[in-house]
Amino acid sequence: MIVLKTSRELELMREACKISAEALQVAGEAVKPGISTWEIDKIAHDFIIKQGAEPNFLGLYGFPGTACISINDEVIHGIPSKSRILKDGDIVSIDLGAKINGYNGDNAATFAVGTISADAQRLLDTTRESLYEGIKAAVAGGRIGDIGSAVQTYCEERGYGVVREYEGHGVGTKLHEDPGVPNFGTAGRGIRLLPGMTIAIEPMINQGTYKIKQLPDGWTVKTADGLLSAHFEHTVAITDNGPVILTKV
Ligand code: MG
């Protein structure tokens, strides 16, 4: 069931999304060679708690962290760990959210650790740009397929693989609501986009094949070919005046 938010509910969403965005920024600023993903997770956790909010990933479906932190060929759902130390040249995806006043925010970004290769930088830039292509397509009166088509076209034209098995989602009183928001699809197809819908758009883009594999830890998702993967996400409100990014610092 898709829940359309009133303007009052959108105001509550805004606060949750603002804290989510600030927490992602703080976590991103901590990224450097030598830090563990556990330390980054703790920084994000403590920040969210200090704002009077809850880390909404923590415990969700049993996830043990505040943030999913995924390095290099890890696509999503990496578990923070004291033994995972970032090193110069890595890329690291941080996905996290906060809940306050009963509403959720959700966002993600991939960060460079020290100096990264030109190829890695191009993957980060393209993935971020594809998110904005998807957001531009999140227009009332359009269709959910407009978003996926925009992301997919942008990335595939640049030679990248678009992950199929995981997708964006509605966000509201629950972190994961309807509708699913695929990063691939056909423009003009799928459910109608309506004012009051709040959705997380989150392209997961691979340097090589779009295919992935699941690790035995039950969480971590990696690229099937071991090449790099990037992930950028915003929570977005669809309004009569166009898409509004709620997870903006
Ligand atoms: Mg999400």
> pLDDT at position 31, please?
98
Cβ atoms of 219 and 205 closer than 8 Å: no
Cβ atoms of 68 and 83 closer than 8 Å: no
Please list the pLDDT of the chain residue by residue as tens digits (249 residues). 999 999 999 999 999 999 999 999 999 999 999 999 999 999 999 999 999 999 999 999 999 999 999 999 999 999 999 999 999 999 999 999 999 999 999 999 999 999 999 999 999 999 999 999 999 999 999 999 999 999 999 999 999 999 999 999 999 999 999 999 999 999 999 999 999 999 999 999 999 999 999 999 999 999 999 999 999 999 999 999 999 999 998
* Cα 16 to ligand 1 centre (Å): 14
* Cα 169 to ligand 1 centre (Å): 6
> pLDDT at position 15, please?
98
* Cα 151 to ligand 1 centre (Å): 16
* Cα 48 to ligand 1 centre (Å): 17
Residue 105's nearest CA partner among 141, 133, 67, 59 is: 67
| Cα distance between residue 40 and residue 35, in whole Å | 7
> pLDDT at position 56, please?
98
Measured from the Cβ of residue 194, the count of other Cβ atoms closer than 10 Å reads 12
Cβ atoms of 229 and 70 closer than 8 Å: yes
* Cα 171 to ligand 1 centre (Å): 8
* Cα 98 to ligand 1 centre (Å): 12
* Cα 197 to ligand 1 centre (Å): 15
| Cα distance between residue 77 and residue 93, in whole Å | 9
> pLDDT at position 3, please?
96
**217 vs 35, 42, 98, 117, 191, CA distance in Å?**
22, 21, 25, 29, 34
| Cα distance between residue 167 and residue 199, in whole Å | 11
* Cα 92 to ligand 1 centre (Å): 16
> pLDDT at position 104, please?
98
